[in-house]
Structure 1
Amino acid sequence: HYPIMLKASSGGGGKGMRICFTDAELKDNFVLSQNEARNFFGDDRLLLEQYIQNPHHIEFQVLADGDDVVVFPERECSLQRRNQKILEESPSVLLTNETRQTMAAQVKALCQRVGYASAGTVEFMVLRSQEFFFLEMNTRLQVEHPITELVASPVGNVDLVEGMISIAAGHGIPPSILNLSPDDSSDQITVPYIGHAMEARVYAEDAQRGFLPSTGPLVKYQEPSLQRDGMTIRVDSGVTEGSLISQYYDPMVSKLIVHGNSREEAIHGLKQALDQYVIQGVQCNTSFLSDLLRHPRVVDGDTPTNFIEQEYPNGFQGVQLTSTEKLELAALVAHLHPEKDQHASTVIPVVVCLGGMFGDAYRVTQTSSDGDGTIFTVQSLAKSEDEEESPPMSISMDSLTSKGTAIFDCVLNGDQKFIQVLGRSVMGEVEFKMHGANVTALVFRENEYELCRLHMKPAKDTHDSNVLASPMPGTLVKFSVQEGDEVLDGQELCVVEAMKMQNVLHSTRSGIVSKIFVEAGSSVRADQVILKFAQEQTGSQEQSA
């Protein structure tokens, strides 16, 4: 009975996977899932499964050589988009130790029963009640295996790739790994875990446009520093500055892995590592990852597999800084802005506008500066005469240092912060990034700001919304309408394929198609106009995959 899930029988990674709640959805999605399965795996056979609602995705890594089986601590892999994992951790906050050992005993029994010999992963769906359901076994290593290596041995003594090769060569499980497993007399099955590890998958995709792939060269690429006291930071990547992200392959750029003594420490370390990640030339998901790590439910470990659909029903709208974070950013902008040195002593006090001329305005005054740091007074300015100004806040800045071409490291009011200075427009706006929030900023003398506010008005939006544009670069594989057709709200218009994923573009209102500008089979650019509506309306689109 519904809901049911379609999935490719010959592969994973969310490819070909779709949830269906009605007969109509099953009919439409079956063709799309078949096409994706064929494109990715050369096999269009599909599995049909009961869909378990609101579960956590929990998996156990194993190494087995036909005789011995080593079961590692579980991985929590529930934070997913497009049914593909983007943030993983070990161990899981959800499981009790009793459930952990019960599941691990079944994992071990499964491997022993079939005489399994290799690395593998046994996956489950688990409810908050601790009820669990077997999902599948992946007979290979998976993307997220580094977090297992780190919780088993933070100093790097566990190498699962080496273990898999040793087994394949007939040498069995390496003794250094086999010795980690509890002996048969113990009531514990899993290897003991040490601390907590998390992995973030960094993708070339636009999280604010439905996680659509982004292609092009990595114009600027700087990975975070791996040096941090008491913490292990690891980056597994296959790109460098100048590498090309094409439409023909999975858009993963790298894996960012952090291990700390506690889950809180791992979250903090991963957030700071993401703050140091510089990627320009393509859109990337680092801001979305930062936003996830700031979310109270993620902090609490309340992350079922539909978390993103629940918490981002209208899509990701960008990181929203708190009022205190905006005050801190205003102080940093006043200090780092390129105009600073041109006005010498007159640049402080200044007015900093975050979000451009008509964004939030802050008066920043440097009250003292010595060898120990700089003190600023920052005050949010009223947007109208009827609004009262907020009280000023004192912000101390210490140890400001440059970390490469675009990153600055400092201590604000006792907390370490990283800020990126990403570029400057011809209008004088400078783009900064802090806590994953991209903010354009302007710096004025106070009299300049007052004059601008008095005489400048926001520009009117003249965007022509009477067209359907491609949300991504790819290939337009088919049209479902032709010129002159009358379409209804929600009706399928066309399918664009990018990185072997098929994305259906729908109309969001009724109208008549007056002109189609591209042919089926043609390549399309991101934002390229595909078709135009005859009537005055908001022609926009949604994508589903």
Structure 2
Amino acid sequence: MFDTILIANRGEIACRVIETARAMGVRTVAVYSDADRTAKHVAMADRAVHIGGSAPSESYLKGDRIIEVALETGAQGIHPGYGFLSENPDFVEAVEAAGLSFIGPSAKAIRAMGLKDAAKKLMEEAGVPVVPGYHGENQEPGFLAEQADEIGYPVLIKAVAGGGGKGMRLVEKPEKFAEALESAKGEAKTAFGNEAVLIEKFVQKPRHIEVQVFGDGTKAVHLFERDCSLQRRHQKVIEEAPAPGMTEEMREAMGNAAVRAAEAIGYAGAGTIEFIVDGSDGLRTDGFWFMEMNTRLQVEHPVTEAITGVDLVEWQLRVASGEGLPKAQEELTINGHAFEARLYAEDVPKGFLPATGRLAHLEFPEGARADSGVRAGDEISPFYDPMIAKLITHGATRAGALRRMSAALGDCQVAGTVTNLAFLGALTHHKGFAAGDVDTGLIERDLDELVVVPEPGPRETALAALAALGLLGMEGFETGFILWTPLTRSVHLVRGGEEIVVKVRTLSAEAHDVVVGEATVEARRSGGRWQLDGETAPPVAVNDQLVSVFSDYGLSFLVVDLLERDSLAGGDADVIEAPMPGLVKVLLAKPGQEVKEGDRLAVLEAMKMEHSLLAARDGVVAEVLVEEGAQVTAGAALVRLEEGEA
């Protein structure tokens, strides 16, 4: 077994690896960028070394520097986590050339599965079913359009390199193919440095079911399946294990196919075989096809750990240090059901835009596993994925595990940034999902009902006003001075762009009457607890001018400083602003150009994705205020419109 390992990653996966290594008595070395100087994984590791600037290209993607640090610190192995260098075969070879162990598969295995087209040919040879499509080298647009016609619409355009939904487009009609192809190629080139794509048949009512495999370089086992069908734009949202509706016959067929795939490339370590499954008529052994293999540990690996009792990171360290497979196939069993929800800093009403901010308050619920790379006080940086945590629940049954997940999401407390908590909570209450009737199109079909923003009632608003005035002097609340003289004051709050005027009449240190619109809320403290109209008040946190009430997945209010009211005025409706920090990848607007509502004016590249900025109304482009390639901050003015001629 290793004495010391270096973790070539950051965030929650770095923290996850450190926890297992520590339990095994293995010392850990963390690496960090400028932005991560005070990060959680840096504090957790036995030793931490600075490796460069905040951008991944200046730090976490600098393989040569990471290898230098491993040698300098006496590490014998490097764990890549996922993302960054985890599936880079050149890095694997460099690690091994330096006399170190790569805690993952061989460079040969990664290359075999790295390009989707070559991987599909290899799987066909191994007897693994493959989706009909074109996986060849001819990338001429006209030829690819002909292939799409032969396959039959709808089709998927997919980047041959990479994953995570980047460089992927669904095309339902021939006339939309050319535009989708250009967009997919552009995103693929940005994300992976390779614009080549393949074309696949799009499966109706598709389910995304993947099988966890683990190999020792010769033999492999599977640790059953995970259902990752609950997706938005090909990004997984909630995963579960095992898959609902799975039969023993289907599980055996998929498991055996996954093991054949892993053994065909001499796979060592943890990997995932992803299948697309036709869910239109139940699960059938002739209705699943290989999509791709992820030659690394997956983000959603905790649900597999929950139902099998296996620590996959421990298995990784053991096999990479020369041990054989810890268990045979017949020794692996399923216990209960598990869910994982990905908690992100993102603005759901604004189209799930990634968000930044300082986590003024962060508390995870008891009864759920929380894998997180951040703590209260940490910044959500624009340089990396905005994940706050993965919440994992386990139960004897699917219904029990889902109830626990719903409760855990409701009890999670995050302040300082917008999150997708309410969206995740809505999913756990979705009737179809609760019944196990899930496919990859569920979220898009029911998006309107899933993204409804919870609105505060009079009690929550009253509580925010009391907190803003510092009148909640008790444990668990922000403490302020107590007013002992009866006094009525007004508090101006902003929620969802609307200003709310609240009047607070303080009767004593433990009694206030709060007027919100036409309602009067009685706030009384009894036995050390605040009651609002006789009901126990939820927790609340105050940070500068932001008040967060932890009810309905978190309700945030901005406290208005009346002396600075002008600063709260919205921007010019004619100005298109950057919704987040990012790179102006494409500028389509030109001065004097007539535009219609919904026209694309610019493309902003941020948080590893491209975001189209659209005209909010008909008009004429008066000014283009930035240059293509500029790095801009959130709120930066990009394009100004003016009225066109009547």
TM score, norm. by length of structure 2: 0.61
Listed as ranges, the gaps of 5+ residues in structure 2 are 1-151, 473-481, 484-505, 560-568
Aligned to 2:298, which of 142, 145, 150?
Answer: 142
Preserved CA contact (<8 Å) 1:334 1:364: no
Residue number in structure 1 paired with 2:330 = 182
For 1:121 and 1:438, the matched residues in 2 are separated by 38
Deviation at 1:278, TM superposition (A): 4.0
Change (3 A) 1:370 1:306: same
Residue number in structure 1 paired with 2:10 = none
Percentage of pairs with the same residue = 36
Preserved CA contact (<8 Å) 1:209 1:315: no
For 1:330 and 1:95, the matched residues in 2 are separated by 46
Q: Equivalent residue of 1:476, what SS?
A: strand
For 1:475 and 1:248, the matched residues in 2 are separated by 11
Instruction: Give yes or no for the alignment of 1:493 onto 2:595.
Output: no
Please identify, of 333-342 and 472-481, the stretch whose mean Cα deviation from structure 2 is larger. 333-342
Change (3 A) 1:39 1:240: farther
Preserved CA contact (<8 Å) 2:272 2:293: yes
Instruction: Give yes or no for the alignment of 1:222 onto 2:362.
Output: yes
Q: Equivalent residue of 2:539, what SS?
A: strand
Deviation at 1:436, TM superposition (A): 0.8
For 1:300 and 1:215, the matched residues in 2 are separated by 35
Kindly report the root-mean-square deviation, in angstroms, between the aligned alpha carbons of the 2 structures: 3.5
Listed as ranges, the gaps of 5+ residues in structure 1 are 184-190, 379-393, 398-409, 411-417, 443-460, 538-545
What one-letter code is carried by the residue in structure 1 that aligns with 2:305?
E
What one-letter code is carried by the residue in structure 2 that aligns with 1:436?
Y
What one-letter code is carried by the residue in structure 1 that aligns with 2:421?
T
Instruction: Give yes or no for the alignment of 1:525 onto 2:645.
Output: no
For 2:548 and 2:378, the matched residues in 1 are separated by 23
Q: Equivalent residue of 2:319, what SS?
A: helix
Change (3 A) 1:536 1:220: farther
Residue number in structure 2 paired with 1:119 = 270
Instruction: Give yes or no for the alignment of 1:192 onto 2:336.
Output: no
Residue number in structure 2 paired with 1:204 = 345
Preserved CA contact (<8 Å) 2:467 2:547: no
Preserved CA contact (<8 Å) 1:476 1:523: yes
Residue number in structure 1 paired with 2:493 = none
For residues 408-455 of structure 1, what are the alpha-carbon distances to aligned partners after superposition, in whole Å with 9 as ceiling and x for unaligned? Answer: xx8xxxxxxx63434575xxx95413131415499xxxxxxxxxxxxx
Change (3 A) 1:348 1:39: same
Matches within 5 A, 1:67-466: 67-126=218-277, 127-129=279-281, 130-131=283-284, 132-134=287-289, 135-153=291-309, 158-174=310-326, 177-178=327-328, 181-182=329-330, 191-216=332-357, 218-225=358-365, 228=366, 231=367, 233-313=368-448, 316-319=451-454, 338-339=470-471, 342=483, 343-344=506-507, 350-351=513-514, 353=516, 358=517, 361=519, 363-364=521-522, 378=533, 395=535, 397=536, 419-423=539-543, 425=545, 430-438=547-555, 440=557, 464-466=572-574
Q: Equivalent residue of 2:426, what SS?
A: helix
What one-letter code is carried by the residue in structure 1 that aligns with 2:420?
N
Preserved CA contact (<8 Å) 1:330 1:352: no
For 1:192 and 1:485, the matched residues in 2 are separated by 64
For 2:607 and 2:215, the matched residues in 1 are separated by 34
What one-letter code is carried by the residue in structure 2 that aligns with 1:161?
V
Deviation at 1:51, TM superposition (A): 1.7
Change (3 A) 1:213 1:331: closer
Preserved CA contact (<8 Å) 2:231 2:238: yes
For 2:541 and 2:260, the matched residues in 1 are separated by 54
For 1:8 and 1:45, the matched residues in 2 are separated by 6
Preserved CA contact (<8 Å) 1:352 1:441: no
What one-letter code is carried by the residue in structure 2 that aligns with 1:350?
D
For residues 381-423 of structure 1, what are the alpha-carbon distances to aligned partners after superposition, in whole Å with 9 as ceiling and x for unaligned? Answer: xxxxxxxxxxxxx75x4xxxxxxxxxxxx8xxxxxxx634345
Higher helix share: 2
Q: Equivalent residue of 1:72, what SS?
A: strand
Preserved CA contact (<8 Å) 1:76 1:91: yes
Change (3 A) 1:300 1:420: farther
Residue number in structure 1 paired with 2:210 = 59
For residues 189-238 of structure 1, what are the alpha-carbon distances to aligned partners after superposition, in whole Å with 9 as ceiling and x for unaligned? Answer: xx32212221122222222211112234x24252415xx4xx4x322222
Aligned to 1:474, which of 582, 585, 589?
Answer: 582
Change (3 A) 1:441 1:133: same
Instruction: Give yes or no for the alignment of 1:535 onto 2:640.
Output: no
Change (3 A) 1:333 1:529: closer
Deviation at 1:66, TM superposition (A): 4.8
For 1:317 and 1:272, the matched residues in 2 are separated by 19
For residues 65-99 of structure 1, what are the alpha-carbon distances to aligned partners after superposition, in whole Å with 9 as ceiling and x for unaligned? Answer: 35543222311112222311121111222323443
Aligned to 1:514, which of 602, 611, 622?
Answer: 622
Preserved CA contact (<8 Å) 2:523 2:530: no
For 1:10 and 1:26, the matched residues in 2 are separated by 20
For 1:76 and 1:374, the matched residues in 2 are separated by 43
TM score, norm. by length of structure 1: 0.72
Residue number in structure 1 paired with 2:124 = none
For 1:361 and 1:294, the matched residues in 2 are separated by 30
Residue number in structure 1 paired with 2:105 = none
Preserved CA contact (<8 Å) 1:208 1:315: no
Aligned to 2:160, which of 2, 9, 31?
Answer: 9
Preserved CA contact (<8 Å) 1:291 1:319: no
Deviation at 1:315, TM superposition (A): 7.7
What one-letter code is carried by the residue in structure 2 that aligns with 1:15?
K
Equivalent residue pairs, number: 449
Deviation at 1:482, TM superposition (A): 0.5
Change (3 A) 1:73 1:431: same
